[in-house]
Chains A and B, each alone.
Chain A
Amino acid sequence: MAIERHLGMDELLGLRDGEGSAFARTHVESCEACRGELERLYRMRSELRALPTFRPPRELWPRIRRHVWRRRLRRRLSYGAVGLAAAAALAGLLVPRGPADEPADAWVAEASSEDLGPMINRARQLENLLQIYSPQQRVYDAPTALAASALEDRIFVLDELLLESRAVGADREVLRGLWGERVLALEQLVTLQVVQEEKRVWR
């Protein structure tokens, strides 16, 4: 008994990708319209694969290299300084700190400003919280490590953007946005560490 219907897109794609049903295979042999559609899908895939390759418009390696250096440096520093930072935080001796490499005077001026000050102080508190959780205990499983890495990368990128924004005299609005995002990323990182720390304690 002939089935009076043409193949749907799912069935045609299944055929193209070698997963077609027996009905679809039989049908396409006798149906010119569906055969034409199937050939069109093959052609489309070839056209997609033949599209030109985009190439990076500018050199990014120096920036990546700089991030890698900073990350290594920061890791060394955090391993060495964790005890001191924790003690300082617990004693309430929170030392103002901006993004790495940032001129201290510019940062202090921003930290005392009305619009950026609260965000910068919040970032400072979060950074000190991160220092309290032992860096040696930070990686627990692959998904957590990946999530933490992504957040750390994000923070590094934001630091870089903050430096560049200041260098070009960006609007205050831009700085507010960047600091806001930095605080958000730090909060997520702290949450991650707290959850992991709780798991570690109860393990």
Chain B
Amino acid sequence: MPPASAAGGDGLGAWRIYKSGMRAETVTVASAELARARAGDLEALEELYRAFQAPVYNLGRRICGNEEDAEDVLQDTFLEVCRSIGRFRGDGSLWSWVRRVAVSKALMLLRRERHRASCSLDGDGGLAGMVGRAPPEPTGPIDLETVLGRLTPLTRAVLWLHDVEGYTHEEIGELMGKTASFSKSQLSRAHRRLREWLE
């Protein structure tokens, strides 16, 4: 089940985010603020930023794997939110919309990093080149955080989007310009690696 759900049924009502897992994180944006944000009011947009900066940054950090890229994701996401909030119609949760923008920015950044590093192994010009980049083999016992850091960016992104954020394989495939089968194979690969390294 996706971790975000909407409270309020008028499309501009208060919205809440429930983060999966042990903690529950609640973010509420009042309908009046949302309406002002949609009209381009910078103070209201700042309220949105305050409300969503932590989950967006965390998402960027988890997908990209480092602080610097996570900051880029946060910045690019809110530039997009500020520009496009007027197009948000309220037919889904605000967090789902913001999160989709954030995921798109994070994946775009992975593509750009890959392009910059010219590490293509298959020459398809997309994300797939990051699949085959072999991470260094760990020696000795390591924890889950370390293991996540050792996964390839793409494999880690699929793992996080599916197992934590609750995206379906179809949605992940669409976000990455790939198929659902591709997402499934990456998730399977991620769990094989986790089992192997954490044993």
Q: Please report A residues at the B interface, Cβ cutoff 8 Å.
A: 8-10, 13, 40-41, 44-51, 53-58, 60-61, 63-65, 67-69, 71, 146, 149-150, 153, 156-157
Report whether B42 and A68 are in contact in the complex, using a CB–CB cutoff of 8 Å. Answer: yes
CB distance A46 to B49 under 8 Å? no
Once A10-B184, A65-B46, A68-B42 are accepted as A-B contacts, the answer to whether A149 and B75 lie under 8 Å apart by CB is no
Q: Which residues of A contact B42 (CB under 8 A)?
A: 65, 68-69
State the CA gap A191–B80 with chains docked (Å).
21
B→A interface (CB under 8 Å):
19-23, 25, 42, 45-46, 49-50, 53-55, 57-58, 61-62, 67, 70-72, 74-76, 78-80, 82-84, 104-105, 108, 144-145, 159-160, 163-164, 184-185, 187-188, 191-192, 194-195
The residue that A54 contacts in the complex, of B49, B62, B191, with Cβ under 8 A, is: B62
Take A9-B188, A10-B188, A49-B164 as given contacts and tell me if A68 and B67 are in contact as well, using a CB distance cutoff of 8 Å.
no
Inter-chain CA distance A24–B187, complex, in Å, is 18
- Of B46, B55, B75, B187, which is in contact with the most chain A CB atoms at under 10 Å from its CB? B75
B62 in contact with A153 (CB, 8 Å): no
Q: Are B83 and A60 in contact (CB under 8 A)?
A: no
Offer 11 A-B interface pairs, CB within 8 angstroms, sorted by A: A13-B188, A41-B191, A48-B159, A51-B145, A56-B71, A64-B75, A68-B45, A68-B83, A71-B79, A149-B83, A150-B76
Taken together as a complex, chains A and B put the C-alpha atoms of A157 and B70 apart, in Å, by: 15
- In the bound complex, residues from chain A placing their C-beta under 8 Å from that of B80 are 149, 153
- A48 with B164, Cβ < 8 A, contacts A63-B75, A150-B108 known: yes
